Amino acid sequence: MNPEVAVRGARQRRLWRVASIACAGLAGPAPAIELQHPVLFVTQVPVPADFATIGSVFANHRGDIGSAARGGDLWIAYPDGSRRNLTAEAGYGMTGLQGANAIAVRDPAVSWDGTRAVFSMVIGAPTEQYQPITRYWQLHEITGLGQGETVSITRVAGQPEDCNNVEPTYAQDGSIVFVSDRPRDGRRHLYPQLDEYESTPTPTGLWKLSPDGVLTLMQHSPSGSFGPLVDRYGRVVFTRWDHLQQDQQAEVPDYGTFDWASEEADAAMLPSVDVFPEPRVDTATAFGHRINNFIPWMINLDGTGEETLNHVGRHELFGYFNRSLRDDPALEDFIAPEAYPQTVNWLQLAEDPSVPGRYVAIDAPEFYTHASGQIVAIHASPDTNAEDMRPAYITPRSTHDFHEGTPPADFTGHYRNPLPLADGGMLAAWTPEARAAGNDGTRSNPQPRYLFRIHKLVADGDYLRADAADPLTPGIVKAVSWWDPDVLVTYDGPLWELSPVEVRARSAPPVTAEGGLAAPEAQAFAEAGADPAAFRAFLAQRGLGVLVSRNVTARDAADRQQPINLRVPGGVETSAGGGPVHDIAWVQFLQGDQIRGIGGTGQPRAGRRVLAQPLHAAEALRWLPPAPGAPQGGVRIASDGSIAAIVPARRAMAWQSTSGDGTPVVRERFWISVQPGEIRACDGCHGVNRTNQAGAPPATNTPQALIELLAHWREHYTDALFADGFE
């Protein structure tokens, strides 16, 4: 089809539908919604496909036109009912055939003083069939949000130029925290990082760009982190995809998985081998390990203290997962009580400004709903114990999933991008569609089933529901066409309305950072005669951190899915009884190496997946005390149950306790990364919320393993401190 003919026809079809307000792109009667503050939001040309596209749960960060159709804009709606197309005012975007000035827009966030916003925008589209074009999402800042003010948009300086940078938020120190797919250490041959599920390109974690242009990796995520926000307590709260299991792609020979011998560009190609955690398939003595969750996490602004939000986990959020061993009668499958609200995923987190400590999110399936589903909430102020963090349903449970037949009677549609308002109300992007996402048209003339518009939510019995008669806008329509890549796609209809955020001033919270040592660790430094500041500086200069556990035989009382009767031979024992006692002698650390390839060794696909490998970072191993007989990357468990290990910073780490011969006993289920110089201490292997498996409180012993590590450092390596330039 001739592009000019297609565009002319699309414009003619549009004219009779939007009549006199065609220039504004608005259709229908004026909305009745009442606003206390202006609301910034984006429009997006609908993308019917829901795998690795802009509306998907994961891999939604890619800037190619098939993943993120061009034609959307950044809008603002004011309390008096007026609206402005901000990107159009600034000269960005176009109608008709998309070309050099075409844009897609996403993820606005407002500054603390309410005068500006940061958002992500991708610019440019192919202008002819099969035209190769690569474009990346880049951060931009906008001013002139007030009525009557002149809009100005500038690209944020200092961000990675050849990567996708999305989901930005302002930090309390003037930095911008955002999600990026920049390689962990910047080496381009590792681009893109592939997730642990489908080996699809994924973000590498959260990044921070300081006001003076310094870029740092705040945390490393093997499968991706999403949607950071800085809450009223100064914490960076975000969703992380947790999928620490063996590679399912390697189970299918046709995928052509293999291992690079190292992360170097010229590394040899080897057969694929998974060493951690246990296999995904059941055996005669063990159940296969599978994990696939999107969980709320938090970190300090300096990247330290990475942990699930208030240490909440699967026991508090989810309904079922199985035990690890078949032949240990002390273990049991986890089954949530019937009355306990169950969720699957926590997406698109937002803080409630009217209820301190309350966070809302979307619980949606991985596919088929464009990451829309049920609105859920949880209370997570810093003083809330994880055991008390019970999910609450804001919309009916039936809104979580899609329904191909007649939906349940209480189904009220699918929701995404919830926005709790300062006046106690709530907005959300909403569609009444119950079925799975799809295209009821053709590839060249799509008719997407899901058409999101932003609505006010109103009370409906015990829940909230979208008020169909109370939209934010009367509907925004646009006629666009684009090459993808061989087919000319034409769309003429309503745009998705997504990602609303209030434009208002807020009080910036305090800056969060790694605090002082807890009493047990401070005592360990005192007994070893070591200076914490000097030790931190020593670690930071070498890109290292320290992980400490006071008693790895102690586990939270709720976790009866991995061995709970644990003993250090000749030392401490913590037991819940009812089964065999497992002796543990070592904790083996594993580092996340980006070495798993896919697509075959002849023509491998770009990028690599992270794979758990026994700790081998030479700079970390160099400073550990000798441990004869330890498995690779292993440290000895002291008689009091404590361990201390020096590990590489800004790299995902996992670990497992093992018997004396290196046989794994208890395996970590989540990746953790530390910052240079961080000393990260916890009370047990699975930290204790209130009591451990034996009914005792969290461990407070002075960790003997840390004393031994510090003494070794002082005895053998203090001279290196001065040789490296310290005064």
Averages of pLDDT over runs of 10 residues in the chain (727 residues) are 37 32 48 88 98 97 96 98 97 97 98 98 96 95 98 98 98 98 98 98 98 97 98 98 97 96 98 97 94 97 98 94 96 91 96 98 97 98 96 98 96 98 98 98 97 98 95 97 95 98 97 96 97 96 98 96 97 96 98 98 97 97 94 98 98 98 97 98 91 96 98 79 45
Whether residues 523 and 498 fall in one domain: no
Whether residues 466 and 570 fall in one domain: no
Q: Residue 17: give the domain boundaries.
A: 3-244+291-502
In total, how many domains does the chain have? 2
Look up tokens 């066409």; give the residue.
481
Q: Which amino acid is at 702?
A: T
Helix (H, G, I), strand (E, B) or coil at 89: helix
- Report pLDDT for 596: 98
- What is residue 672's DSSP assignment? B
- Report pLDDT for 33: 82
What totals of helices (H) and strands (E) does the chain contain, helices first? 7, 43
- Report pLDDT for 15: 31
Bridge-based pairing of strands 392-393 and 374-379 is antiparallel
In a domain, 510, yes or no: no
The Cα-based distances of 39 to 74, 96, 422, 424, 700 in angstroms read 11, 27, 12, 15, 48
Helix (H, G, I), strand (E, B) or coil at 13: helix
Whether residues 7 and 154 fall in one domain: yes
Q: Residue 364 and residue 400: Cα distance in Å, rounded?
A: 5
- Within 10 angstroms of residue 143's Cβ, the number of other Cβ atoms is 15
- Within 10 angstroms of residue 24's Cβ, the number of other Cβ atoms is 15
In 595-703, alpha helices (H): 618-621
Whether residues 482 and 583 fall in one domain: no
- Report pLDDT for 718: 62
Whether residues 615 and 468 fall in one domain: no
Closest CA relative to residue 305, chosen from 557, 89, 494, 512: 512
Closest CA relative to residue 436, chosen from 447, 446, 450: 450
Whether residues 655 and 574 fall in one domain: yes
CATH assignment at residue 66: 2.120.10.30
In 477-626, alpha helices (H): 519-528, 532-541, 618-621
In a domain, 76, yes or no: yes
In a domain, 277, yes or no: no
- Report pLDDT for 135: 96
- Report pLDDT for 12: 33
Whether residues 428 and 559 fall in one domain: no
CB 550 within 8 A of CB 641: yes
In a domain, 594, yes or no: yes
- Report pLDDT for 715: 87
Whether residues 7 and 45 fall in one domain: yes
The Cα-based distances of 422 to 230, 232, 425, 534 in angstroms read 16, 13, 7, 45
Q: Residue 5 and residue 9: Cα distance in Å, rounded?
A: 6
Whether residues 589 and 630 fall in one domain: yes
Whether residues 535 and 683 fall in one domain: yes
Whether residues 394 and 344 fall in one domain: yes
Whether residues 491 and 536 fall in one domain: no
In a domain, 281, yes or no: no
In a domain, 397, yes or no: yes
In a domain, 278, yes or no: no
Query: Domain boundary at 439, 468, 502, which?
Result: 502
